[in-house]
Amino acid sequence: MGMRKGLLLTILGLLLAGSLLGCGLLPLLPPTQKATSGSSSVAIPTPTSEPTPTPLPPSIIEEANAEERVLIDIYKRVNPAVVNIRVVKKVRGFRFEFEFPGFPKAPEEFFQEGEGSGFVYDKEGHIVTNNHVVEGAEEVKVTFADGTMVDAEVVGTDPDSDLAVIRVDIPPEKLHTVELGDSDRLEVGQRVVAIGNPFGLEGSMTTGIISALGRTMPLGRISTVVGGRFSIPNLIQTDAAINPGNSGGPLLDLHGRVIGVNTAIRSFTGSFAGVGFAVPVNLVKKVVPVLIEKGHYAYPWLGISGFDLRPEIVKAMDLPVERGALIIEVVKGSPADKVGLRGGDKRWTVKVEGEEVPLGGDVIVAVDGVRVRGMADLISYQVMKKEVGQEMELTLIREGKEIQVRVKLGERPRE
């Protein structure tokens, strides 16, 4: 009897288990995960993974967030002061229109559009930009960050610094101005921000660093302070992306202060290739107020062109110095000519990196007691420290001997 009772309980237990399975009591699974068996769906478990926490400590994440906030704040404060400038210029040349049977046989005059950037300088409506943006413009229009578009007039231009000032007639309370920094206090590696309108894309911001200081434009080895195309000293080199349309826009430090005016790029394609240049703001401080007052800026003028000393030159001339500026040419009638500075002799040359350099000229090694390493230092000192009519003492190496010459600076020719 006992055995029969135990067997009965076992059979009942098996029947009960089968009954429960038939009611669908399965392990709990996500409702969307199902497998099919025949005509019925059966849910199956899926593996779950825990999110991997960042290995960086919270302090570093917070530091990155702080930098983001700095950049966001700069943009919010400065972008309202940055403008888009559109110009219409009359040009003469060939219009390449594909009209059968061919192109025009002679050049013609036609209008061409261009654009650049600028920033509001003061509450009187003066805007700083590049000279090459507005040079020769028949019409200038300015668009502000809020979409306001107005006509502008050209107040003053300076091709030698590639700076220009235009003016708009807008109530002062609607104008946002910028703060000017100090380009003499900059350091290579310092973070910078550029705001402008590359390719017409208004209000674009890029970031980078100062990759070099003290560049001189043009970037060739021979620097000139004679009539013609003059060199721009103390250019700021940056890897912040600068493209066509950025010209005239501000280069900023992380305080949002203007430290330069974006003016050129080094590129073989016409687009940014990692090297851009900005006119230093301390030159802006000297030139812009005069452009507003007089329309042009008078530079002090010595009247020479020169070449940085190289080992080949030092050896050929048997010089007692290794750094300085060799005078290649002296402009007739210039201040340099009047005090007897000597240029090179084209019959006596040495080849430096494939270029024939005339030798025998004076070598400038100091200005007012300040040593110069080459033409860039000489140009920078003359432009930034001197005015028209002031005297400058030059220390020269002439025929192996050191002499001093005082020269009264004239006004740089404008043509």
Any idea which residues carry the catalytic annotation? 132, 162, 247
- Start-to-end CA distance of the chain, whole Å, equals 130
Residue 151: partners with Cβ closer than 8 Å, 6 or more residues away: 139, 140, 141, 142, 168
Q: Which of 413, 324, 397, 310 is nearest to 357 (CA)?
A: 310
Q: How many CB atoms lie within 10 A of CB 281?
A: 26
> Do residues 113 and 244 touch, judged by C-beta distance below 8 A?
no
> Do residues 246 and 198 touch, judged by C-beta distance below 8 A?
yes
> Do residues 203 and 195 touch, judged by C-beta distance below 8 A?
yes
Q: How many CB atoms lie within 10 A of CB 406?
A: 10
Q: What does the alpha-carbon distance between residue 143 and residue 164 come to, in Å, rounded to a whole number?
A: 17
Residue 97 has phi, psi (to 5 degrees) of -100, 135
Q: Which two tokens stand for residue 20?
A: 């429960």
Q: What does the alpha-carbon distance between residue 42 and residue 31 come to, in Å, rounded to a whole number?
A: 10
Q: Which amino acid is at 328?
A: I
